A and B are shown apart, each in its own frame.
Chain A
Amino acid sequence: MGPIEFLWLATLLLAMFLGFAAGRRLGIQQGRKQEQRTLPIELRVAALERGICPICGARSAHDTIPVESHHPDAESGGRQ
């Protein structure tokens, strides 16, 4: 293998390494920010659908109708 071929291959591998490393870390950061925005809404949806807080398990004081047709494993909460 000549020096030019070696340099080409080394540069390619280095570029792939840097690109993947940077891309993965940026992707993780983006994913975390997105989750921070959507998690409160998802938790609220889950709590209202099941009538139980997904974090502490407390039953809701509000009159909530569980969506049994969409969630076969949801407990009947809220009403009675």
Chain B
Amino acid sequence: MSGGWLEALHIFGCLLLTGASVKLMDDYLDADFDLCRGHRTLAARWGRATLPYALVLGMIGAALDARLAAAVLLASYAVGMFTAWREQLPTRLPAWAEIGGAIVLAVVCAGWRDAVWAIAMMAVIDWVDDLLDMYGDGLSNQFNLALRIGPIETVFLVLLALLVAVTVSPTYTMWAFIALAVLSVLSEWSTRKVEPAVSRDGEVYHRGSD
């Protein structure tokens, strides 16, 4: 019994901390877009210090379950790059090549089952996030799958990805949703609302000081 609870704690802890690491890095990259929408995230306030903190969280998550952490991290990268698959990246490789590389690495590091689950689950989270942020992303001109292909179509893709995730590992999926809820609450709590640079009508106006 205690072994089962300990394993569950490891899985949840790994998903929570790796997810927090990915979220911090994502918020750091999107800091300007978020500020434009009036959200001053933790990553925006920390600036460059975000990266070492994100690394520490990721390492602790990996210490709890290395295979799962590797799968989640690489899958997050692959799914995040889906939207810009034709772009040329700093490595001089096209994004689709790096996506393929990340998927292969995930399979090698975590096994094909965990890799498939991680890709499906990260896709669910990313696309649900796009559905919820449709309006805001339209204002700040960020890529959004729901804006690109339509909200109903995105819902069908979410259901498809969720079907894959639940079929491969219902336990991981359950813990991932719980970790996502906790991270969402923490993210909301740590984000400060500031006066947006763009009003709801699309009018740009300037703020006095920060």
Contacts and interface: CB of A to CB of B under 8 A. Distances in A.
Interface string A2-23: 0000100110011011001100
Contacts of B150: 21, 24
A1 interface: yes
Contacts of B189: none
Contact of B149 (A9, A13, A16, A21): A21
Interface stretch (B17-25, B79-87, B135-143, B152-160): B152-160
Nearest to B152: A20
A17 B163 contact: no
A1 B170 CA distance: 10
Contact of A9 (B152, B153, B157, B163): B163
B152 A24 contact: yes
Question: Interface range on chain B: under 10, 10 to 19, 20 to 34, or 35 or more?
Answer: 10 to 19
Contact of B167 (A6, A13, A17, A21): A6
Interface residues of A, number: 11
A14 B160 contact: yes
Contact of A10 (B152, B153, B163): B163
Contacts of B159: 13
Contacts of A17: 153, 156-157, 160
B117 to A, nearest CB: 14
Contacts of B166: 1
A20 B153 contact: yes
Nearest to A15: B156
Interface in B151-207: 152-153, 156-157, 159-160, 163-164, 166-167
Given A1-B167, A6-B167, A20 B156 contact: yes
Contacts of A21: 149-150, 153
Rank and list the top 5 A-B pairs by shortest CB-CB distance, nearest first. Answer: A17-B156, A13-B160, A21-B153, A6-B167, A13-B159
Interface of B: 149-150, 152-153, 156-157, 159-160, 163-164, 166-167
8 contacts: A9-B163, A13-B156, A13-B163, A14-B160, A17-B156, A21-B149, A21-B153, A24-B150
